[in-house]
Chains A and B, each alone.
Chain A
Amino acid sequence: GAGVSQSPSNKVTEKGKDVELRCDPISGHTALYWYRQSLGQGLEFLIYFQGNSAPDKSGLPSDRFSAERTGGSVSTLTIQRTQQEDSAVYLCASSLAIGYGYTFGSGTRLTVV
């Protein structure tokens, strides 16, 4: 597609439920990043993919968070047993390669009630 697409754009979930957030990068972009933007905070790095592999998962806050990427394209970020502190905007960005220009999606606003 023309840009990075994220779905859903908004998600309200009950505490303790699992959620899946999807990122569709620009076609051909091999690098894909997930960031989290909490209210009033900057962006917090979560994980990045080069192709289907994730060389750096250091930003995942806990083992409730996981991410995968298949076919070098779509990525899914899964949060298990959601907690209220997981409420944030989750942003995805993709790039043709590491170090090239990055395009961000519009994000998924997750609210845990």
Chain B
Amino acid sequence: GDSVTQMEGPVTLSEEAFLTINCTYTATGYPSLFWYVQYPGEGLQLLLKATKADDKGSNKGFEATYRKETTSFHLEKGSVQVSDSAVYFCALFSSFFNKFYFGSGTKLNVKP
């Protein structure tokens, strides 16, 4: 089956620092790629997505570009805030297998 690998956390940054969370994938066919965010005590929320190669997903200052050549979908933000502290999950949806595959999650702690 398909799989997603993302960098282990926790990642601790100071406010206004630059964020990168790496994500790579293995997939059959042409998956859609997602980043989900889980704030403390809450469910998963879609942060952004990209459905084909070279697409860039963006939301709330976060960006990720679907790179087919490197099978990557790294999450970036130029200036993080304390309110961005959460667990971030990279995921792909396989139209071949009709299911999501999730990475193990990366916990981000942003300190004031």
Contacts and interface: CB of A to CB of B under 8 A. Distances in A.
Nearest to A105: B43
Interface in B33-89: 36, 42-46, 49, 89
Interface of B is mostly: strand
A98 B102 contact: no
Contacts, number: 49
Interface residues of B, number: 22
Contacts of A103: 46
B101 interface: yes
Contacts of A45: 99-101
A56 B99 contact: yes
Interface residues of A, number: 20
Contacts of B46: 101-103
Given A43-B89, A98-B95, A99-B95, A91 B104 contact: no
Interface in A1-47: 33, 35, 41-43, 45
Interface in A77-113: 91, 93, 98-99, 101-107
9 contacts: A42-B102, A42-B104, A43-B44, A43-B100, A45-B99, A45-B100, A103-B46, A104-B36, A104-B44
Interface of A: 33, 35, 41-43, 45, 48, 55-56, 91, 93, 98-99, 101-107
